[in-house]
A and B are shown apart, each in its own frame.
Chain A
């Protein structure tokens, strides 16, 4: 029974959303607001559960007193709503930025610099390798703004433009592809009503 209600709700809201294709209307707005509200409600519930399980429960049940520090820093973020104490929120933000940068820097040099450099240093014996090497050099050269008037740089830079245009084309094709998948998935919700 619940599954049937779910199928009906899914189908009706999908039709309401798809009605936008014919123009903006109240049904679309209603479905859009329901979707945003549900999404926000679900996220808040999950976030609360997350804080409960990873902060409050270990603090109370296992006496992990050090967890008081992130809880206080988290609460300090809300100080930004009070002008007098808004400076306190920067402590929490600074902590998050510092941690985020530290975590990122841990694997970044090897993952996104050294390994990528190694993958670009290829013998120019195959067409694939030539395209990868020239495309990489061309793309980098295009963003080289300090050298102007040099013919070699200009040729490489032009090659870089074409390489990037092909990449953007691939990304656009991917965007069409993924939107069609989403549309098909949404329409499948409606077709379920007809046993398809």
Chain B
């Protein structure tokens, strides 16, 4: 079989074959986890160091603006950061401006705070969901108690001891935003960072990350956690392997496969172009 025949076969390969190979490249590393060398980069390290430097009893807001489909991308980071905060005795307020974000907050609470024996209302609270997008973000930061009159379970916020300490955005030591779209980091820079001067860390998907680098360069966000990689690095930092680290093996092998397919398809394209010119 000549080189051109091989190229022609590759070009006319059934897409289902490629999909099956890709599926295997993901399934095999997940079923048989392999140690993947992971270097902790500047952003997870910056967030880790910042949290290490926070005084005990500080209050951190974790806003989950996510939808169900993005759980594998971002939930690992949420859990790892929340676990770090709980270990340090820092208090956390969860809220959400997307309906499904509340589910992810509840899962993080059940995975971290409940096994650690942390007390609801004292060590952490979950305020639930409010509609209104960026307007609701601005309003909640102006007055948490007026925007979230009750928590996720319907308890009046006035009855939660932790919320006595949290009235406005100025009472926060840090905000960790997990977002899958919409106004995302830009909205929180406009409504929290600029008016109140509160540090912001952003946990976003791979496609959203490039649009957040300008905020990072301008010093408006302190850390940019990029998809599962950010989460995997943070899990490494706190020594708590979780969802993100378990995905990194599949990431590595599937990316290598994609690079190989890109190289093959480009060779095939150039070869055909050269053949056509002759």
Chain A residue at minimal CB-CB distance from B249? A184
Structural contact, A42 and B100, CB atoms closer than 8 A:
yes
The residues of B that contact A115 with a CB separation of less than 8 Å are 194, 218-220
The residues of A that contact B195 with a CB separation of less than 8 Å are 106-107
Determine the interface band of chain B, counting residues with CB < 8 A from chain A. Answer: 35 or more
Q: What is the total number of residues of chain A having a CB less than 8 Å from a CB of chain B?
A: 52
Q: A186 → chain B, closest Cβ, in Å?
A: 7
Structural contact, A42 and B210, CB atoms closer than 8 A:
no
Structural contact, A111 and B189, CB atoms closer than 8 A:
yes
**Which applies to chain B's interface (DSSP): helix, strand, loop or mixed?**
helix
A 21-49 to B, binary, CB cutoff 8 A, 1 in contact else 0: 11100000000000000010011001101
Structural contact, B150 and A53, CB atoms closer than 8 A:
yes
Structural contact, B129 and A50, CB atoms closer than 8 A:
yes
Among A150-184, those with CB < 8 Å from B are 167, 170-171, 173-178, 180-184
Tell whether A191 is near chain B: CB-to-CB under 8 Å.
Answer: yes
Among B180-220, those with CB < 8 Å from A are 186, 189-191, 193-195, 205-210, 214, 217-220
Tell whether B16 is near chain A: CB-to-CB under 8 Å.
Answer: yes
Choice from B30, B190, B194 contacting A188 with Cβ under 8 Å: B30
The total of Cβ contacts below 8 Å across the A-B interface reads 153
Tell whether B95 is near chain A: CB-to-CB under 8 Å.
Answer: no
Structural contact, B72 and A107, CB atoms closer than 8 A:
no
Structural contact, A178 and B68, CB atoms closer than 8 A:
no
Structural contact, A116 and B218, CB atoms closer than 8 A:
yes
Chain B residue at minimal CB-CB distance from A186? B72
Tell whether A110 is near chain B: CB-to-CB under 8 Å.
Answer: yes
The residues of B that contact A116 with a CB separation of less than 8 Å are 214, 218
Tell whether B135 is near chain A: CB-to-CB under 8 Å.
Answer: yes
Structural contact, B26 and A180, CB atoms closer than 8 A:
yes
A171 to B193, CA, bound (A): 25
Q: A116 → chain B, closest Cβ, in Å?
A: 6
**Which applies to chain A's interface (DSSP): helix, strand, loop or mixed?**
helix
Tell whether A77 is near chain B: CB-to-CB under 8 Å.
Answer: no
Known: A132-B217, A178-B205, A178-B206. A46 touches B102 (CB 8 A): yes
The residues of B that contact A196 with a CB separation of less than 8 Å are 30-31
Structural contact, A191 and B30, CB atoms closer than 8 A:
yes
The residues of A that contact B210 with a CB separation of less than 8 Å are 167, 170-171, 174
Choice from B19, B190, B209 contacting A107 with Cβ under 8 Å: B190
Tell whether A100 is near chain B: CB-to-CB under 8 Å.
Answer: yes
Q: A106 → chain B, closest Cβ, in Å?
A: 7
Structural contact, A174 and B194, CB atoms closer than 8 A:
no
Choice from B99, B209, B228, B258 contacting A46 with Cβ under 8 Å: B99
Structural contact, B147 and A21, CB atoms closer than 8 A:
no
Choice from A58, A107, A175, A180 contacting B189 with Cβ under 8 Å: A107
Known pairs A57-B149, A107-B190 / 8 extra A-B pairs, C-beta < 8 Å = A22-B19, A54-B149, A170-B210, A176-B206, A176-B258, A177-B251, A183-B23, A184-B250
Give 12 pairs: A residue, B residue, CB < 8 Å, sorted on A: A23-B16, A39-B100, A50-B129, A112-B186, A112-B190, A115-B220, A119-B214, A119-B218, A174-B207, A178-B206, A181-B247, A187-B250
Q: Which residues of B contact A (CB under 8 A)?
A: 16, 19-20, 23, 26-27, 30-31, 67-73, 99-100, 102, 129-131, 133-135, 138, 147, 149-150, 154, 186, 189-191, 193-195, 205-210, 214, 217-220, 226-229, 243, 246-247, 250-251, 254-255, 258
